[in-house]
Amino acid sequence: MSRFAAPIAEQIWDMKYRLKDAEGAPADGTVEDTWRRIARALAQAEADPAKWEEVFFEALEDFKFLPAGRITAGAGTGRAVTLFNCFVMGTIPDSMAGIFDMLKEAALTMQQGGGIGYDFSTIRPKGADVKGVAADASGPLSFMDVWDAMCRTIMSAGSRRGAMMATMRCDHPDIEQFITAKQDPARLRNFNLSVLVTDAFMEAVKAGGTWELQFDGKVYHTVEARDLWNKIMRATYDYAEPGVIFIDRINQMNNLAYCETIAATNPCGEQPLPPYGACLLGSINLARLVAEPFEAGAALDEAALETLVATAVRMMDNVVDISRFALDAQRHEAQAKRRIGLGVTGLADALLMVGLRYGSEEAARQTSRWLHRIARAAYLASVQLAKEKGAFPLLDTEKYLESGALAHMDADVRAAIAEHGIRNALLTSIAPTGTISLYAGNVSSGIEPVFAYSYKRKVLQRDGSRTEEEVVDYAVQLWRDKFGAAELPDYFVNAQTLSPSEHVRMQAAAQTWVDSSISKTINCPEDIAFDAFKDVYMQAYESGCKGCTTYRPNDVTGSVLTVSESSDETPEAETGADVVYLSDPLDRPHALEGNTYKLKWPDSEHAIYITINDIVIAGRRRPFEVFINSKNMEHFAWTVALTRMISAVFRRGGDVSFVVEELKAVFDPRGGAWMQGKYIPSILAAIGGVIERHLVAIGFIEAEGKGLKADPKYQAMAVGDTARGPSCPSCGTFGMHMVEGCMTCVSCGYSKCG
């Protein structure tokens, strides 16, 4: 029998985690081979690799422990890749040379696929004096534009998408420009933005006081604190950004406050990190640990949980030693503190299995109890590792035990640390788990509620026919297996039927026992009043959260599935669309219809001829292949490579309009050219423009600079209506929604955050 609980799980494994050779032939024959590959690689750091390989394999088996995607895809492959997900880069110096040194480091890190976080508060504000050159500073926003262009260029070179997080302190003189920067839809598209909010600022907001915007001891402006707070709130109300990070609380609760100061996080916010800090992630799948689900005696097997946690801590600690890093500073930081981020996924499903309604006070208490057990087990496992292998090098036991996060830790755990030390400075974090949750059988993601109990996913077959498969939430499928068509109990709720305060309650309950932070989205109804929306953030602050990310559907952000309160039906979503994911590339028909375009690049002796052939599927014309020809032999190799790659993408289906976007973003360092009154940054960008005009002409995309012609805006709907919205750039289905702070595809697990 297959180990996969659903077809989509096997498809995700095959697409993202299965090891294949250079020709695409599978090296992992089965998912057991993948587990074995990971277990063997992580056991190499042990004195007895054979023994620990079996222990690690057992933890991975049946998707109980889910290492983050980079570990699952990269461990044991022999490839020179990092197994860490995200990084916070070094402190940006306030000098031109220093800024561009940091840009180079960011490019090297992103080239390996790592997401990065940066604090731009260290750059002097726009208009400040620049000594020695008789000029005014351009400000941090201008350099963020440079970072954004770098990220776009790295991605256009074919590297794995890596998101970026930019933070800025609430007292920086350019904070108001930072808050509104992404309201220009063409700006900073590769960044998530968050404001570093201090306790003093929050007190000034509550007291109605003034707030000084300053840099390097100089006050540039004085504003009303509530006015600035309202500007932050209005931006996130209308645009879902910036997020809010309660930075003083993060530093106060940091186990390592005695030797580091944090000013930035990784792109999804669950890992506040110091300069050159890296986040290493993995999740315990709580949905696989519930005994007798939906029965009177249903309960989480806490003994199995503690054993699994101890093994997971050991596996993640070993990753620190076997991983590669883009920069030596990242390696030194990781090995000096041995920080890991063990979290959970499947929480909402586990709560359903024991009969609790997500968001209720009892569910919050149970969440806190479970995460307390995980924290205990993780810290004790790390103490045991310290006895065996040594504590992390920067441990100062007395100062470590005085930190905020250890203050409420159990006395026996504190005593064990005092006696033996601890191997890992920080141990727990709750990360986005969208893709690995699909891989594990579509369990609920992280600590999020279930998004939709089921949805339809259309798959285009090689012969052009379409099949429809239902993707069902893991807990719902278990219910169906046990009780057939029996009506779901009323404690089955989803993300859209919960109130914002219930979301906050669950985040706060989880945060108590998480020493890093949590990636979570608080869904708000479109018609929530602005004052009520602001109260969500104040509730998050007052209840001990380290940050807050909300999503309110509207015309700017796009809508998500909403559930009619009067409906008794099961919340469902349908992501079917005219543009669908292809399980295999289409075969080429004997004849295709197409067009040939002539492109004359200035200063080039020979023209380039671009032929685009189309295929008709379900009555709709779509691109199938591209040929590029020129007498200029200088272009021969790269034009052949380009045509093969673009044609391969076209034949896979889905929303391939991103090809145009990527080509048009490529710039030539030798300079572009003016063509028909427009500046074109490179020959590749000109080719992208030709392809774009062709896609417009055949009706595949709406217009220049627009997306799919068939891509409608989301609409609010009752249960059972078709939910359609922004199409996924990876698989093409209209199933993108906001989860854990990132736009994520429910069909293939693609995430904007990498």
Distances (CA, A) of 450 to 67, 205, 291: 21, 35, 20
How many CB atoms are located within 10 Å of the residue 184 CB? 9
**Containing H/E element for 468?**
strand 466-472
- Out of 151, 268, 728, 745, the active site residue is 268
268 catalytic per annotation: yes
Report the alpha-carbon distance of residue 295 to residue 353 in Å, rounded. 8
Output the DSSP codes for 581-624. EESSPPPPPS--EEEEEEE--TT-SS-EEEEEEEEEETTEEEEE
- Return the DSSP state at 119: E
Q: Find the angle CA(328)-CA(332)-CA(336) to the nearest 5 degrees.
A: 175
How many other CB atoms sit within 10 Å of the CB of residue 227? 12
SS3 (DSSP) at 76? coil
Annotated catalytic residue within 46, 260, 270, 662: 270
CA pseudo-torsion sign 629, 632, 637, 639: negative
Angstrom distance (rounded) from CA 55 to CA 65: 12
3-state secondary structure of 469: strand
Side-chain-facing half-sphere of 136: CA atoms under 13 Å: 7
Instruction: Give whole-number Cα distances, 471 to 6, 452, 576, in Å.
Output: 7, 10, 12
> Catalytic residue at 190?
no
Give residue 328's region: left, alpha or beta (phi > 0; psi -120 to 50): alpha
Q: What are phi and psi of 593, to 5 degrees?
A: -95, 140
Structure tokens at 155: 């991605």
Is residue 10 part of the annotated active site? The answer reads no
* CB neighbour burial string for 661-687, b if at least 16 within 10 angstroms, e if fewer: bbbbbbbeeeebbeeeeeebbbbbbbb
Strands 135-136 and 210-215: what pairing?
A: unpaired
Q: How far apart are CA 393 and CA 332, in angstroms?
A: 11
Active-site annotation holder among 266, 285, 494, 523: 266
Torsion sign, CA atoms 354, 360, 362, 367: positive
- ∠ Cα 708 17 747 (to 5°): 35
Distance from C-alpha of 596 to C-alpha of 598, rounded to nearest angstrom = 7
Catalytic residues: 266, 268, 270
